[in-house]
Amino acid sequence: MTSKGLTLKIAERLEEPGNILRLRLARPDGAPLPKFEAGAHLDLRLNDGKVDLWRQYSLCSDPADTGFYEIGVLLDPKTRGGSAAVHKLALPGVTFEVDGPRNHFPLAETAQKTVLFGGGIGITPMLAMARRLHALGRDFVLHYCTRSHAVTAFCQIIAHAPWKDKVVFHFDDQAVEQKLDLTRDLPAPAADTHLYVCGPQGFMDWVISGAEAAGHASANIHREYFSADVDTTGQSFEVEARRSGITVTIGPADTIAKALARAGVKVEVKCEEGVCGTCVTDVLEGTPDHRDKFLTDDEREEGTMICACCSRSCSSKLVLDI
């Protein structure tokens, strides 16, 4: 279920280890919130006059609870303004514009075995998934990887969870045998075994490539990137916005979304890194040069969609249905 245009207040602000804020959001009048499915996220508008951004944060609360939403926000040292704004603005009682919940990371609830891999702040959607899988009585394990116990957030939540015995902690500063070992910790590939991966890009790429090398089908390896190092530069090309009757040139350091916006054709953009899917636009002609982390391999091969915030063109011209 998706709901747009919510106004939610910060009902609780908790400091977790590792520069992570755990925020509980609720309606100002206390009314129930729209239901969400495990893996969903919220789009939060961050506006204090100096910044005006939309950023996406995975829900870590119990999908069965409609009284509040809970998210975790890391103060990222490489922040482009979003995480710093949340840590500054998200004070008890303050209200935010919220879109969602939206879900691009859905849980296969009928899987016979599920293995969750959360790296750092990537644990947040895994908590909601663990809660849901436990409620369904499914077989699962959650591997939680951080630099050390001292910077591991949500320990108290896990310690009091009825599924705490399903969680395996891996700390980088501990003995080698305690660290995540894909040859040991990946399950055997099977049609009804599903893997979920979320965390820093390097961690995710390592787990995903290891799982593929071990024989897991790409369709059974589910992933959600919070951010990505994306190269948006390249050779110039043309983009025709067919329904708008506008054609623009995308320069070597420009993006499709920005060039179209200057010409009066608005493409909604939120993450600007090709991870949230907000800017996905249909391609009518031409060959996209995909730079995003959102589309699946099958969707990329079809070539009928493009993330306009970061991707480019392999052909001299793209025609978009906009």
230-236 LR contacts (CB < 8 Å, sep 24+): 230/273, 230/274, 230/291, 230/292, 230/293, 230/310, 231/291, 232/291, 232/310, 232/312, 234/289, 234/312, 235/312
Q: Is 1 a member of any domain?
A: no
pLDDT in tens, 10-30: 999 999 999 999 999 999 999
Beta bridge partners of 168: 143
Q: Do 260 and 211 sit in the same domain of this protein?
A: no
Distances (CA, A) of 154 to 39, 47, 306: 17, 27, 36
Q: Is 309 a member of any domain?
A: yes
Residue 79's pLDDT band, with cuts at 50, 70 and 90, is low
Q: Is 231 a member of any domain?
A: no
pLDDT in tens, 267-319: 988 888 888 888 999 999 999 999 998 888 888 999 999 999 999 999 999 99
- In the 8-state DSSP scheme, what is residue 94? -
Contacts of 322 (CB under 8 A, 6+ apart): 241, 242, 243, 244, 260, 265, 267, 281, 282
Distances (CA, A) of 217 to 23, 139, 193, 315: 35, 19, 10, 30
pLDDT number for residue 302:
92
pLDDT number for residue 13:
98
Instruction: Tell which wins on pLDDT, 93 or 175.
Output: 93
E-state strands within the chain? 6-16, 20-26, 41-47, 52-58, 69-74, 95-102, 113-119, 139-146, 167-171, 193-199, 221-225, 237-241, 246-250, 280-285, 288-289, 305-307, 312-313, 317-320
Please check whether residue 233 is in contact with residue 253, taking contact to mean a CB–CB distance below 8 angstroms: yes
Q: Count CA within 13 A, CB hemisphere, residue 244.
A: 17
pLDDT number for residue 82:
85
Query: What mean pLDDT comes out for the span 26-45?
Result: 96
Q: Do 82 and 132 sit in the same domain of this protein?
A: no
| Cis preceding-peptide flag for 28 (omega within 30 of 0) | no
pLDDT in tens, 194-250: 999 999 999 999 999 999 999 999 999 999 987 777 788 999 999 999 999 999 999
pLDDT number for residue 31:
97
Count: domains in the chain: 3
The mean pLDDT value of the chain amounts to 93
Q: Do 252 and 178 sit in the same domain of this protein?
A: no
Q: Count CA within 13 A, CB hemisphere, residue 218.
A: 7
Q: Is 60 a member of any domain?
A: yes
pLDDT in tens, 126-177: 999 999 999 999 999 999 999 999 999 999 999 999 999 999 999 999 888 8
Q: Do 127 and 219 sit in the same domain of this protein?
A: yes
Q: Do 220 and 126 sit in the same domain of this protein?
A: yes
Question: Considering 194, 225, 256, which residue would you say is the last residue of a domain?
Answer: 225
pLDDT number for residue 53:
87
Token pair recorded at residue 220: 């059974």
- In the 8-state DSSP scheme, what is residue 188? P
- In the 8-state DSSP scheme, what is residue 132? H
Give residue 136's domain range: 113-225
Whether the per-residue pLDDT at 86 is higher than 60: the answer is yes
Instruction: Tell which wins on pLDDT, 298 or 258.
Output: 258
Q: Is 232 a member of any domain?
A: no
E-state strands within 59-215? 69-74, 95-102, 113-119, 139-146, 167-171, 193-199
pLDDT number for residue 285:
96
Q: Do 121 and 78 sit in the same domain of this protein?
A: no
Q: In which element (H, E) is residue 201 found? A: helix 201-213
**Residue type for position 85:** A
CATH classification of the domain holding 140: 3.40.50.80
Q: Do 141 and 37 sit in the same domain of this protein?
A: no
Token pair recorded at residue 61: 């609360």
pLDDT number for residue 191:
97
- B/e letters for 198-216, b = 16+ CB within 10 Å, e = fewer, are bbbbebbebbbebbeeeeb
Question: Considering 44, 72, 102, which residue would you say is the last residue of a domain?
Answer: 102
| Residue 123 main-chain phi, psi, to 5 deg | -70, -20
Q: Which SS3 state, helix, strand or coil, does residue 233 take?
A: coil
Q: Is 29 a member of any domain?
A: yes
Q: Is 276 a member of any domain?
A: yes
Whether the per-residue pLDDT at 2 is higher than 60: the answer is no
Please check whether residue 322 is in contact with residue 243, taking contact to mean a CB–CB distance below 8 angstroms: yes
CATH classification of the domain holding 79: 2.40.30.10
Q: Do 265 and 217 sit in the same domain of this protein?
A: no
Question: Considering 76, 102, 128, which residue would you say is the last residue of a domain?
Answer: 102
